[in-house]
Structure 1
């Protein structure tokens, strides 16, 4: 799938300017050498914990209004592409609704149309945390994209996920659904997979449920679409969002490294996800 990657280029240029003005605050981390947990990547947070992760109770909505120096591109009248203020890599962007929509509500056809529009230009690892219990830090609807070039591995568990689709490895011992994505799939196919996974995992459906019945994470790339039903957000001091199920773990203040060394990352994910 050939892409122009114009949105990614715009995000990098906007990021350069926002970093210079102080609007962008990249998270400083260091990679901890593997200690038997490959292929997972464990990084230690060196920066101060961002305010949006420290705050307890009601939080101000950072997207109403959004920070204009972080705006990458408007997508019609309903969505826009925005730089993540606390990026984990250069070009880390959010796809948000311009008007408030709840993160805990169902993703709708308009959301998937906006995803497809961005995805046709710039691909990579998409992820979505459905609510605070699934690792969402903001209640305003937003999907996230970590851009990738061509057939570059999307995440540390990309190879294992592709192997599962090919009939090798797995299944994992928690509640999840994994489906292949075919080249050129657009909004309708994405929405159909989303709703099929929701039904299979007991999350419900928009026609009968005003909001999903359980917390969940989404991750998808050019090759696969993964939905995980969640049980809890914190395990052994680790905050686990969708990126955990992609193979990225973050060691922050309060995280129990000794627990991870003893039990391993697979036990961490199994404790965070609902039982299969």
Structure 2
């Protein structure tokens, strides 16, 4: 069992941040299915999406400096944990680089070491969106964590990714060809280097590029990291059937709007939506 000190602190700070307006939770309604349980979760916003979230381009970098009311704690001299200003889940955590690092550049071993430092205390679903085309809302490097308790379901499509890892996936999958997945090494002493090595090998496998030979990735991509595996998904666009898709879409989380083709999602499942963004 992990101590979950970081998560507890994030929740404590969230209460103060919500009260002073530094955190603005996105209130949602969970769609209730009348039939069988699906491998996705669909929610709808009760109010319009904040304008700041849908504008990507020249604007003030919110991470230099970051809002001190969102500060959780430093991880090392290169990374800091802060709260997500617009969370659907209270306690949604961002791991940001203290100095400017591009979101669309190569990740480095320091990034994975910082993830490990957090993960040893508070784990859950980590995700990374490499660029606008992969669903990123900010060009400054940041990783996101949705904390989960021990034995709590990581995400709706967790078992699907496990079957992909174990080579038992349905051959009719419409998206598996754009996903590379590796198991996580449980040896903590080797972990950051091991995870970084997995990242580099997956990038080569999916033809994103050789980190030792080119300056930046050749394609947009997402990362999903759980206690058991790390997965890399190549991308070409951020929208499909009226849905805005980032890494959470592949994890099974969808946020619907008036423009979203909800009927297609419900009738055919998430892969029908996701296949158009890879």
Same fold (TM over 0.5): yes
**Count of aligned positions:** 272
How far residue 164 of structure 1 moved from its aligned partner, in angstroms, is 2.8
Cα distance change, pair 165–263 in 1 and its aligned pair in 2 (3 A): closer
- In the TM superposition, what are the counterparts of 1:66-77 in structure 2 within 5 Å? 66-77=66-77
Partner of 2:262: 257
How far residue 4 of structure 1 moved from its aligned partner, in angstroms, is 1.3
**In 2, distance between residues paired with 1:263 and 1:232?**
21
**In 1, distance between residues paired with 2:55 and 2:169?**
40
Deviates more, 1:117-126 or 1:46-55: 46-55
Structure 1 gap segments, 5+ residues each:
none
Partner of 1:238: 243
**In 1, distance between residues paired with 2:40 and 2:158?**
11
Deviates more, 1:254-263 or 1:241-250: 254-263
CA deviation vs aligned residue, 1:46-82 (integer Å, no higher than 9, x gap): 2321222232542221111101000000122211000
How far residue 152 of structure 1 moved from its aligned partner, in angstroms, is 1.6
SS of 1:121's equivalent? Answer: coil
TM-score normalised by the chain length of structure 1: 0.93
Structure 2 gap segments, 5+ residues each:
none
The Cα RMSD (Å) is: 1.7
Partner of 1:63: 63
SS of 1:34's equivalent? Answer: coil
TM-score normalised by the chain length of structure 2: 0.92
Cα distance change, pair 266–117 in 1 and its aligned pair in 2 (3 A): same
Partner of 1:183: 186
SS of 1:153's equivalent? Answer: coil
Q: Check conservation: 1:177, 1:226, Cα contact below 8 A.
A: yes
- In the TM superposition, what are the counterparts of 1:4-153 in structure 2 within 5 Å? 4-34=3-33, 38-55=38-55, 57-153=57-153
Q: Does 1:267 align with 2:272?
A: yes
Partner of 2:174: 173
1:207 to 204, 209, 212: 212
CA deviation vs aligned residue, 1:208-247 (integer Å, no higher than 9, x gap): 1111000000001111111100021111111000000001
**In 1, distance between residues paired with 2:185 and 2:49?**
38
Q: Check conservation: 1:103, 1:139, Cα contact below 8 A.
A: yes
**In 1, distance between residues paired with 2:66 and 2:268?**
41
How far residue 91 of structure 1 moved from its aligned partner, in angstroms, is 1.3
How far residue 256 of structure 1 moved from its aligned partner, in angstroms, is 2.5
Q: Does 1:195 align with 2:200?
A: yes
